[in-house]
Chain A
Amino acid sequence: GAVVSQHPSRVICKSGTSVKIECRSLDFQATTMFWYRQFPKQSLMLMATSNEGSKATYEQGVEKDKFLINHASLTLSTLTVTSAHPEDSSFYICSAHNVEGQTQYFGPGTRLLVL
């Protein structure tokens, strides 16, 4: 089946630094990718929709200047957490839409810990 990868799988950084997370669709092209955030014992909350070649669409309450999204190609979207703070520590999950199968495939997630 379709595979979506994320890199890194785990990252620890100091407060104030920026962290980039990559999401790749490995065997299909994805015009749309989604970024979710999952807090412990909570569900996934959509942060933004990433469209190839255009600006991302952010959900209400998500700071676009803090969570920078770049969908540079049909197989790669990146999420950059700028000036990270401890409250940004979370599990970040991306998904990619397989146009042919009309199904979303999820990446394995990236656990971010900001000290």
Chain B
Amino acid sequence: GNSVTQMEGPVTLSEEAFLTINCTYTATGYPSLFWYVQYPGEGLQLLLKATKADDKGSNKGFEATYRKETTSFHLEKGSVQVSDSAVYFCALSEGGGYQKVTFGIGTKLQVIP
């Protein structure tokens, strides 16, 4: 079956530091890959996605590249802000996002001033 592995955290960074959250996946087919973000007290929001190998998803300064050879989709941001503090979920779907989504465990990011 499908699975997503990501670092649990928490990850604590100072403002303006570089962020990497690793994510690897196992899938039977050719999934679409997603990063979702959950701010405190709120629901999940789609942060970015990539639907095929070598695609790069980007949004709000975050980016992730679909690496089929390493089955990875690592999330990066060059300079984090306090407002980026949240839980980040890596996820995959074999139906382009409209089939069921398999989530990673979520990584809590805390950015301190």
Contact = CB atoms under 8 A, between A and B. Distances in A.
Interface of A: 4, 6, 32, 34, 42-46, 49, 93, 95, 97, 99, 102-109
A102 B96 CA distance: 7
B105 A42 contact: yes
A80 B50 CA distance: 34
The prevalent SS among residues of A at the interface is strand
Contacts, number: 49
A97 B105 contact: no
A93 B43 contact: yes
What is the size category of the interface that chain B forms with chain A?
10 to 19
Given A43-B105, A106-B45, A97 B89 contact: no
Contacts of A4: 43
B98 A43 contact: no
Nearest to B89: A43
Closest 9 CB pairs of A and B: A108-B43, A106-B44, A97-B98, A43-B103, A43-B105, A44-B103, A106-B43, A46-B100, A103-B97
A68 to B, nearest CB: 19
Nearest to A45: B103
A104 B106 contact: no
Interface string B92-113: 0100111011111110000000
Contacts of B44: 44, 93, 95, 106
